[in-house]
C-alpha cells in the first residue's frame, strides 16, 4: 500500500538530542556550531538511510565457506541536494554516510521582506534516472518557501517524492503543512519540531539564522 501522508520522523537518539542542544545555545561559537550541524547531518542521514538505500543480495566467500551477504546496490543512483547556503552545513555528515552519492547544489536566497526564495544556482540534472534516491539537506524548514521550490524542481526532473528524504535540524508547522498538501509520500527526518514562527519567518525557539551561524557571518 502506498503511503498517504507526509511522515515526520524525530529519531529518539541521544547524540541527535545532544547536538541539537549545542546548536540551539546562543553561546556556541561558530566553529562548534558547524560541528554540531555536521553531526546532526551524519546521524539524521544514518536514520534516513534505513529502508531507503537500495540493497542487493550477493554470495561472498569467507575464509571458511560461501555465505549470502547484503550490499548497497550500486546500480541505483543516490543523490544529495544541499540547499545553499545553510544546507551545506549538513552535507559533510550526509556524505560520510553516503560516500558514493552525487551532490547537486541548489542555491536559494530569501527576500527578507516578502520571505520568498529566489534561485541563484541550479546544478540539478535535466532528468534524474528512474528510482534515484534523493536526500535534501536543509537545516530549517520554516515557512516552507525554499523546500517547496526545490521539491517542484526535483519532481519536474523525474524525482519520485516517495523515494525522497529531507534531512532538517528543526521543522515548523507552516513548512510541514505545505509539504503534506502536495507530497504525501515524502519523509522528513528532523531533530525536533518547533511550533512557532516569528514575524520574520524565523523558528522560535529555533537556533537563529543557521547560515550565519555556520559561516560566522
Ligand atoms: N532559516 C534559518 O536559518 N532560521 C530560521 O529560524 C528560519 C529559517
DSSP line for 86-120: TTHHHHHHHHHH-TT-EE--EEEEE-TTT--EEEE
Average pLDDT, the chain: 96
DSSP 163: G
Predicted pLDDT of residue 3: 65
Query: What are the angstrom distances between the C-alpha of 5 and each of 1, 45, 72, 134?
Result: 12, 21, 27, 18
pTM across the whole model:
0.95
Query: Treating both helix axes as pointing N-terminal to C-terminal, what angle do 30-49 and 88-97 enclose, rounded to 10 degrees?
Result: 40
Mean local confidence (pLDDT), 145-163: 97
Predicted pLDDT of residue 116: 82
Ligand 1, from 86, 110, 173, 197: best to mutate by most atoms within 8 Å of Cβ? 86
Predicted pLDDT of residue 113: 77
Cell of 130: 528512474
Ligand 1 contact, 209 CB (< 6 A): yes
Among 79-88, 92-101, 102-111, 146-155, the least confident range: 102-111
Ligand 1 contact, 169 CB (< 6 A): no
Nearest CA to ligand 1 atom 4: 209
Ligand 1, from 24, 148, 203, 211: best to mutate by most atoms within 8 Å of Cβ? 203
Mean local confidence (pLDDT), 107-117: 82
Ligand 1, from 37, 88, 140: best to mutate by most atoms within 8 Å of Cβ? 140
Amino acid at each position: 500500500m502506498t503511503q498517504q501522508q507526509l511522515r515526520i520522523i524525530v529519531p529518539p537518539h541521544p547524540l541527535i538530542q545532544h547536538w541539537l542542544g549545542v546548536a540551539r545555545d546562543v553561546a556556541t561559537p561558530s566553529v562548534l556550531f558547524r560541528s554540531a550541524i555536521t553531526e546532526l547531518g551524519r546521524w539524521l542521514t544514518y536514520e534516513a538511510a534505513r529502508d531507503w538505500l537500495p540493497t542487493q543480495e550477493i554470495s561472498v566467500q569467507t575464509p571458511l565457506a560461501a555465505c549470502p551477504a547484503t550490499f548497497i546496490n550500486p546500480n541505483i543512483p543516490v543523490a544529495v541536494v544541499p540547499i545553499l547556503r545553510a544546507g551545506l552545513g549538513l552535507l559533510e555528515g550526509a556524505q560520510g554516510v553516503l560516500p558514493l552519492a552525487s551532490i547537486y547544489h541548489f542555491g536559494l536566497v530569501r527576500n527578507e521582506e516578502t520571505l520568498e526564495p529566489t534561485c541563484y544556482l541550479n546544478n540539478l540534472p535535466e532528468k534524474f534516472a528512474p528510482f534515484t534516491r534523493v536526500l535534501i539537506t536543509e537545516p530549517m524548514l520554516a515557512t516552507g518557501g525554499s523546500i517547496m521550490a526545490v521539491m517542484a524542481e526535483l519532481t519536474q526532473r523525474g524525482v519520485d517524492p516517495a523515494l525522497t528524504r529531507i534531512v532538517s535540524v528543526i521543522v515548523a508547522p507552516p513548512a510541514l503543512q505545505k509539504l503534506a498538501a502536495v507530497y504525501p509520500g515524502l519523509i522528513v527526518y528532523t531533530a525536533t519540531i518547533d511550533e512557532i514562527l516569528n514575524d520574520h519567518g524565523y523558528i522560535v525557539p529555533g537556533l537563529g539564522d543557521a547560515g550565519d551561524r555556520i559561516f560566522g557571518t
